[in-house]
């Protein structure tokens, strides 16, 4: 995990081998963009009425919430863009806002199509009978 963070900071800070100097941003800007991505994704998730926490018991819950997996998906997608040295405008802040909004929309409307809930112990019995 820490090697990934180091490599993201290194590549985004130093640019790449093709000399895209305008893509290189400072580590402070990268950290600020991550924070903006996480905050925007949580705020948009609240606006879409996604609950703050999943249903109880938390350990065995497969419900989505504003805390998990919304900001984790947003930070992961933003990391992919940073590793590819694509920051768009204002040192990645506009991209961070766009990714935060799209990740909350993904979790609200498309998450269960991509990652379906597992069947309960009783649901699979009707199929086998």
How far is 30 from 59, CA to CA, in rounded Å? 32
Query: Is 64 within 8 Å of 107 (Cβ atoms)?
Result: yes
Q: What tokens does 114 get?
A: 């991509």
Q: At what angle do helices 27-47 and 70-83 cross, to 10 degrees?
A: 150
2-57 confidence digits (pLDDT tens): 566 666 666 665 654 444 544 567 888 889 999 999 999 999 999 999 999 887 77
CA 104 vs. chain centroid, Å, equals 9
69-126 confidence digits (pLDDT tens): 999 999 999 999 988 878 888 888 999 999 999 999 999 999 999 988 877 665 555 5
């Amino acid at each position: 995990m820490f090697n990934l963070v180091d490599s993201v900071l290194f590549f985004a800070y130093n640019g790449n081998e093709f000399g895209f100097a305008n893509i290189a941003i400072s580590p402070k800007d990268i950290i600020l963009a991550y924070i903006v991505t996480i905050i925007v994704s949580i705020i948009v998730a609240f606006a879409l009425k996604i609950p703050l926490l999943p249903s109880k018991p938390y350990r065995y819950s497969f419900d989505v919430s504003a805390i998990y997996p919304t900001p984790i998906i947003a930070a992961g997608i933003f990391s992919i863009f940073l590793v590819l040295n694509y920051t768009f405008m204002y040192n990645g802040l506009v991209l961070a806002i766009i990714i935060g909004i799209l990740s909350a929309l993904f979790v609200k409307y498309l998450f269960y199509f991509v990652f379906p809930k597992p069947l309960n112990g009783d649901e699979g019995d009707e199929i086998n009978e």
